[in-house]
Amino acid sequence: MIDIIQVLGIAFFVLIGTYLLVPLNIRLSNRWGIIALPSERKIHKLARPEAGGLSFAILIVIAQAIVGFLHSSEFIGQALLKLSAVGIVAIVLGVIDDKYDSKARYKFLGQICLGIIMYIIGYRVHSLTNPMGSDFILGWMSFPITVIWYLVMINAINLIDGIDGLACGITIIVSAILLVVGIREQNILAITLSSLLMAGNLGFIRYNFFPAKIFMGDTGSLFIGLNIAAIATAGSSQYKGITTMTLMIPISVMAIPLIDVLLAVSRRIKDGNLFKADRAHLHHTMLDFGLSQRAISIIVYIATFLFGLIAIGFSFSSKKILFSVLLGLMTIMVIVAYILMRQEDKK
């Protein structure tokens, strides 16, 4: 059985390793021409090196593979080895996009392929929470729901990554919350995945927070989204007990990015092009209201942490009460965000 102390020790080396690798990543991104250039859709005014996600993604994949190899005779070891292999695919797809700025439809196709692969290797959504009674067992619906789940989580991180340090900070908070819940439920797979993801982003945020020296790019956001989604779909090791609410815990913590995805999809459907990028995300609206990048990041960090406390509450309280609280808060936030965007459009 994997030892928690062993996992936390490896996570510490991922943190230090990431911190030391970022300067090299900056030089390599500049040398290879992986640069984020200013544009009407982007906030930054100067060219910045991209694909910063390489700094932590490579180390996390190696750490997953090492732990998996050391425990290859166990289910958890096999699960980690399989995830590390898919992680390599995600890194390659991310680097290609950061280098060549792939079209949205091709990125979407790649994300679907990742979702299908994750289903095949056992990282599946088996059930959905019914706050009023027994959970819904999905059966054959598990396949499409699993793929949709990966698409949603990957794009939630991708779309929120528009402010220096925003996606990175959210990932740290989300991972920390999932780590706490994993420890409470003694879910070693969740503990391993969340601790490694948190450690990598802790090492990266020093260079990514405003003013950023490097952007994580699709290399980072694709890898992060994949791993956060994987924590909730870890086959037979899904959260047990009250946390068979399965997706409700990561959904709670990821409330801000998921609301942004919901608004973006509805906005793009209205405009007749789901793949058309725009400058109307929540962080863009907050910028237009005069908030600085630093202030926006801190505000969203605090909101994410508060939703994280709700997620932890799922482990202690009635799921009916907490589901109602979560649903109410998310509804209010969607309404407020929509009103703010409408007011900004009228200016």
More confident residue, 21 or 293: 21
The one-letter code for the residue type at 323 is F
Q: pLDDT digit string (tens) for 95-137?
A: 999 999 888 889 999 999 999 999 999 898 887 766 666 667 7
Q: Are strands 48-49 and 35-36 parallel, antiparallel or unpaired?
A: antiparallel
- Which distant-in-sequence residues (6+ apart) come within 8 Å of 147 by Cβ? 112, 115, 116, 119
> Lowest-pLDDT range, 63-72, 204-213, 243-252, 296-305?
243-252
CA distance 188 to 190: 5
Enumerate the domain spans of the chain.
Answer: 4-123+130-346
Backbone angles phi, psi at 212, to 5 degrees: -70, 140
pTM of the full predicted structure?
0.89
Note the pLDDT of residue 280: 67
Note the pLDDT of residue 306: 85
Bridge partner list, 49 = 35
Give yes or no for a contact between 40 and 226, defined as CB atoms under 8 angstroms apart: no
Does residue 92 carry a pLDDT above 90? yes
> Lowest-pLDDT range, 40-44, 253-257, 300-304?
40-44
- Which distant-in-sequence residues (6+ apart) come within 8 Å of 195 by Cβ? 7, 8, 11, 175, 179
Note the pLDDT of residue 283: 76
Backbone angles phi, psi at 42, to 5 degrees: -100, 155
Note the pLDDT of residue 227: 96
Give yes or no for a contact between 189 and 79, defined as CB atoms under 8 angstroms apart: yes
The one-letter code for the residue type at 270 is K
Share the mean pLDDT of the chain.
84
Note the pLDDT of residue 317: 61
CA distance 76 to 276: 40
If we measure between CA atoms, which residue out of 25, 77, 81, 16 comes closest to residue 49?
25
Average the pLDDT over 153-162 and give the result. Answer: 91
Q: pLDDT digit string (tens) for 207-250?
A: 999 899 999 999 999 999 999 999 888 644 444 433 333 577 77
Note the pLDDT of residue 235: 42
Note the pLDDT of residue 241: 35
- Residue 48: strand, helix, or coil: strand
Q: pLDDT digit string (tens) for 160-191?
A: 888 899 999 999 999 999 888 888 878 888 89
Helix axes 217-231, 54-70, angle to 10 degrees: 40
Using a pLDDT cut of 90, give the percent of the chain over it: 46
Q: Which pLDDT band holds residue 292 (cuts at 50, 70, 90)?
A: confident
- Residue 127: strand, helix, or coil: strand
Average the pLDDT over 82-105 and give the result. Answer: 94
| Pair of tokens at residue 322 | 């907490």
Average the pLDDT over 285-299 and give the result. Answer: 85
Q: pLDDT digit string (tens) for 306-340?
A: 888 877 776 666 556 666 666 676 677 667 666 65
C-alpha to C-alpha distances, 256 to 96, 113, 194, 302, nearest whole angstrom: 28, 26, 19, 11
